[in-house]
Amino acid sequence: MSEQIFKLGEDWLTVGKALSIAKGNTSLIITDEAVKKISESWDIVQQIVDKGHPVYGINTGFGPLCTTKISKSETSVLQSNILQSHSVGVGKPIEKDIAKLMLILKAQSLAKGYSGIALNTLERIIWHIENNAIPVVPSQGSVGASGDLAPLSHLFLPLIGLGKVSYNNEIITSEILFKKTGLKPIALGPKEGLALINGTQFIAAHAVKVVAKFHALLAQADIIGAMMIEGLQGSVKPFYNELHALRPFKGNIHVAKRVKKLLKGSEIMEDHIDCEKVQDPYSIRCIPQVHGASRNTWLHLKELVEVELNSVTDNPVIINKELTISGGNFHGQPLAMALDYACLAASEIGNISDRRIYLALEGNNPGVPKLLMKDTGINSGYMILQYTTAALASENKGLCFPSSADSIPTSLGQEDHVSMGSIGGRKALQVLGNVEKILAIELLTAAQAFEFRKPLKSGIFLDEVHNAVRDQVPFACKDRVFANDIEKGIQMIRNKTILKVVERVQKEHGISLTTKYSNEFEVY
């Protein structure tokens, strides 16, 4: 397979491409055209300094010091100082892959040629990406408005020989990195420090991770929900195309068609086609509406994120020789609000999953014993697993308060409205982590209920999914340490095991679960 190439500043960056670059599967290049734009922007900054006309961040102070003029001889010192003074982050460091995404997203923005940085500065950032020398970035300290100032300052301290990096599986100082690699500190020119730390790359990198993780969980939630329908012998009619054509939300139609195809050819479904049950509880019957609404939310976030990945979000922006604009492209509100929306949508996937787990334990479904175990009394069965999902679902509800609803003025009132999108991004990932655990428990619960339908078979998809679960977790005839089962289930969710099973079955049988909206609901 030939190596993929991404042209910084020219190619359209998607979530999928950003992740591919971060994994080392796609290489970055700067074309001659991009070099020309970067050089022209750099030259304009030098002209501004030579002329002495005050332009924010180039020859003035920052924030409330915007009226303080800086002499030509001090403009470079100003840029080094800003990285140091703004490196005030606290808390546990963010994950290495998120920090690497921050570097990638910043490189894409700078390569567009509107930021006034030197080519060698961008090349050094690319060196860090390609050599996996990833700066250590604290998780707390950004309010998500004048750019993600604190985390971006920490991200770029290594350029000037300060801060720490993760390199060859150890955390070392930049000084040690330079000794190991022969690198030397970069002397930042006018505006470069501000261009580096002004932007939304902390928020956007978290959003990329949210889009990818949420996508995987949504796809798995449909499959697990379908298995639970089988286990509890729910009706397939709520998934008919005829119903959803009357309320044609993209997500609803997509989920309904997927679930209906997963149930196709099932002996279990055929077995109760003439049963007396009129309708199922909402957590079964309304899977298309609830999962679908979360799908629509995910799609909204993905579309906004990919606009952001291809935007210039620092300040001021060098348009041309005649026009430099000090504006607000650094403000995180566009992603902050969408991340809060996604946080709520992810929480709801966990919420309805918990309800299906509870439903499976009630013992109101013929053939499926109470607590999913025949010999209860001496055994508690699956009762306490639902306590865990209830705790996780409740925790998620508390995390759903929108971060973007808050704003605390900073910079002596100069930055009087901030987005708090950095908090929203971190919180959304926390919620998704909880949803992983809830879905893992539903997967185990659905597989246990599914077992009681034997010797009836499901369709080709769910039988294989059930087999994959049983490869990891055996049927429970009596109580055991279920935490071990749950951990195996969580690993299956994180490793996308059941998605891989479904993909394999599709290839083997030439059957597709795709819908007319499938392309929109993919990560490219």
The closest alpha carbon to 284, from 435, 397, 485, 449, belongs to: 449
Least confident of 49-63, 248-262, 405-419: 49-63
Across 222-247, average pLDDT: 96
- What CATH number is attached to the domain comprising 112? 1.10.275.10
Q: Does 17 have pLDDT greater than 90?
A: yes
Q: Is 334 inside any structural domain? A: no
For residue 2, give both structure tokens: 């030939």
Residue 142 and residue 271 in one domain: no
Q: Is 331 inside any structural domain? A: no
- What CATH number is attached to the domain comprising 495? 1.20.200.10
Q: Is 493 inside any structural domain? A: yes
Across 211-225, average pLDDT: 98
Residue 380 and residue 272 in one domain: yes
For residue 52, give both structure tokens: 């002495």
Question: Which among 149, 178, 199 is the end of a domain?
Answer: 199
Query: Could you list the residue range(s) of the whole structural domain that residue 69 is in?
Result: 4-199
Q: Does 66 have pLDDT greater than 70?
A: no
Q: Residue 474: is the preceding peptide bond cis (ω within 30°)?
A: no
> What H or E segment, with its residue span, contains residue 128?
helix 119-130
Q: Is 335 inside any structural domain? A: no
Q: Does 510 have pLDDT greater than 90?
A: yes
Q: Which residues of 301-321 are buried (b: 16+ CB within 10 A; e: fewer)?
A: bbebbbebbbbbbbbbbbeee
Residue 363 and residue 306 in one domain: yes
Q: Is 368 inside any structural domain? A: yes
* Band of pLDDT at residue 61, cut at 50, 70 and 90: low
Across 162-174, average pLDDT: 97
Residue 113 and residue 172 in one domain: yes
Q: Tell me the average pLDDT of the chain.
A: 94
* Model pLDDT for residues 320-343, shown as the tens digit of each residue: 998 999 899 999 999 999 999 999
Residue 249 and residue 382 in one domain: yes
Rounded to whole angstroms, the Cα distance separating 506 from 514 reads: 10
* Band of pLDDT at residue 64, cut at 50, 70 and 90: low
For residue 71, give both structure tokens: 């002499």
Across 167-186, average pLDDT: 97
The closest alpha carbon to 263, from 470, 81, 460, 517, belongs to: 460
DSSP states of 175-225 as a string? HHHHHHH--------TTHHHHHHSSSHHHHHHHHHHHHHHHHHHHHHHHHH
Residue 148 and residue 221 in one domain: no
Question: Which among 199, 230, 246 is the end of a domain?
Answer: 199
Judge if pTM exceeds 0.75. yes
Residue 147 and residue 274 in one domain: no
What pLDDT is attached to residue 65? 64
What pLDDT is attached to residue 58? 75
The secondary structure of residue 305, as a DSSP letter, is H
Rounded to whole angstroms, the Cα distance separating 329 from 434 reads: 33
Q: Is 83 inside any structural domain? A: yes
What pLDDT is attached to residue 160? 97
Residue 417: CB atoms within 10 A of its CB come to 13
Q: Residue 190: is the preceding peptide bond cis (ω within 30°)?
A: no
Question: Which among 174, 199, 224 is the end of a domain?
Answer: 199
Residue 48 and residue 123 in one domain: yes
Least confident of 51-55, 423-427, 492-496: 51-55
What pLDDT is attached to residue 276? 64
Residue 139 and residue 92 in one domain: yes
Q: Which residues are catalytic?
A: 56
What pLDDT is attached to residue 1? 44
Share of the chain above pLDDT 70, in %: 97
Share of the chain above pLDDT 90, in %: 87
Number of domains observed in the structure of the chain:
2
